[in-house]
Amino acid sequence: MTTFVLVPGAWHGGWAYEAVVPLLERAGHAVVALTLTGLRTDDDAVTVATANLDTHVADVLACLDRVDARGVTLVGHSYGGLVVAGAADRADGRVERLVHLDAYVPRDGDSCWSATTEAYRQAFVAGAAGEGFAVRPPERPGRDPRRRPHPLASLVQQLRLDGGFDRVPRREFVFCSGWEGTPFAEQRRRLEADPGWRVHDLPTAHDAMREAPAAVAALLLGSGTPGPGSA
Q: Is residue 11 part of a domain?
A: yes
Q: Taking the CA atoms of the chain, what radius of gyration do you get in angstroms?
A: 16
Which contacts of 218-223 are long-range, i.e. CB under 8 A and separated by 24 or more positions? 219/99, 219/174, 220/4, 220/20, 220/24, 220/73, 220/75, 220/99, 221/24, 221/27
Q: Is residue 111 part of a domain?
A: yes
Question: pLDDT tens digits for 143-161?
Answer: 888 999 999 999 999 999 9
Burial 7-38 (b: 16+ CB within 10 A, else e): bbbbbbbbebbebbbebbeeeebebbbbbbbb
CA angle 69, 13, 45 (to 5 degrees): 115
The domain in which residue 110 lies consists of 3-221
Return the pLDDT at 166: 97
What's the rounded Cα separation, in Å, for the pair 91 and 74? Answer: 11
pTM: 0.94
Average pLDDT over residues 50-63: 98
Q: Is residue 231 part of a domain?
A: no
The more confidently predicted of residues 145 and 204 is 204
Q: Is residue 230 part of a domain?
A: no
What's the rounded Cα separation, in Å, for the pair 27 and 231? Answer: 14
pLDDT at 227 over 70: no
Q: Is residue 186 part of a domain?
A: yes
Q: Is residue 119 part of a domain?
A: yes
189 burial class (0-12, 13-18, 19+ CB within 10 angstroms)? exposed
Q: Which amino acid is at 77?
A: H
In this prediction, residue 21 has a pLDDT band, given cuts at 50, 70 and 90, of very high
Q: Is residue 213 part of a domain?
A: yes
Q: Is residue 141 part of a domain?
A: yes
172 CB-side CA count, 13 A: 19
Q: Which CATH number is 27's domain given? A: 3.40.50.1820
Return the pLDDT at 223: 60
Mean residue pLDDT of the chain comes to: 94
Share of the chain above pLDDT 90, in %: 91
Look at the chain and report how many structural domains it folds into.
1
